[in-house]
């Protein structure tokens, strides 16, 4: 192989490797505090960067994580996700944090997945049933009953859930490997899509009666946040 061809080959190999391994880009500076002023900033990871000289401790802190969320939803749970939108100093750092509050006897963070992150969960209070399901073709369920002090990890992009199976409220903290992990709640995406998915698609895919599908699509689907 000629030298030019080898150089092109190795360049393509390096490029493919970078796409295969990259999640949030690695920062090229100490920090990039997110800012909305596009007259005096540059874009990094989708956010504009504040001039480092104007950064303050408030950019790197958040208050109120100790306050329980409003769990008066149909799933009886609330997720308070802290991303770079609420804590600007998180921008480019590749991490975010969530507090999840559950009502007793069935408060649920319903099956969902994060398209851009893995997650590790720490139970602070209560008793949770948590698990995830692997991808095609096996669809293996990995689940466990978790108590205060227990940790559980949800691999990148896999459907997972948590439900309070105890008689008292439950609280958990989740750390995610992206400043903007995203969340796609399965039932909401399927039955609450805008515009609605053709009922014939869901009837066949889920082995459901068409009337039931149309009834589910007519309901209001609200995220637990």
Binding-site residue numbers are 109, 112, 114, 119, 160
Q: Work out whether the CA dihedral 27, 30, 35, 41 comes out positive or negative.
A: negative
In the annotated binding site for Mn(2+), the residues are 112, 114, 119, 160
State the Cα–Cα distance between residues 91 and 85, nearest whole angstrom. 8
In the annotated binding site for oxalate, the residues are 109, 114, 119
| Chain CA centroid to CA 83, Å | 10
Would you say 155 and 176 are in contact if contact means Cβ atoms under 8 Å apart? no
**For residue 41, which of 25, 54, 26, 59 has the smallest C-alpha distance?**
54
Q: What string of DSSP letters covers 14-41?
A: HHHHHHHH-SSPPPSSS---EES-TTS-
State the Cα–Cα distance between residues 160 and 61, nearest whole angstrom. 29
């Amino acid at each position: 192989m000629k030298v030019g061809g080898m150089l092109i080959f190795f360049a393509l190999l390096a490029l493919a490797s970078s796409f295969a391994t990259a999640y949030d880009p690695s920062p090229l500076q100490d920090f990039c505090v997110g800012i909305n002023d596009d007259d005096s900033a540059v874009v990094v990871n989708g956010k504009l960067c504040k001039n480092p000289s104007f950064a303050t401790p408030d950019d790197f802190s958040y208050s109120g994580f100790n306050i329980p969320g409003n769990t008066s939803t149909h799933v009886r749970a609330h997720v308070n996700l802290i991303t770079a939108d609420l804590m600007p100093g998180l921008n480019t750092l590749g991490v975010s944090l969530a507090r999840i509050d559950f009502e007793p006897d069935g408060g649920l963070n319903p099956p969902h997945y994060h398209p851009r992150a893995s997650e590790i969960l720490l139970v602070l209070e209560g008793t949770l049933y948590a698990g995830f399901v692997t991808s095609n073709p096996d669809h293996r369920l990995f689940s466990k009953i978790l108590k205060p002090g227990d940790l559980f990890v949800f691999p990148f992009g896999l459907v997972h859930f948590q439900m309070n199976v105890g008689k008292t409220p439950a609280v958990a903290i989740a750390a995610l490997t992206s400043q903007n992990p995203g969340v796609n709640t399965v039932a909401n995406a399927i039955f609450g899509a805008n515009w609605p998915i053709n009922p014939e698609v869901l009837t066949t895919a889920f082995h459901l009666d068409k009337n039931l599908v149309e009834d589910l699509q007519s309901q209001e689907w609200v995220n637990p946040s």
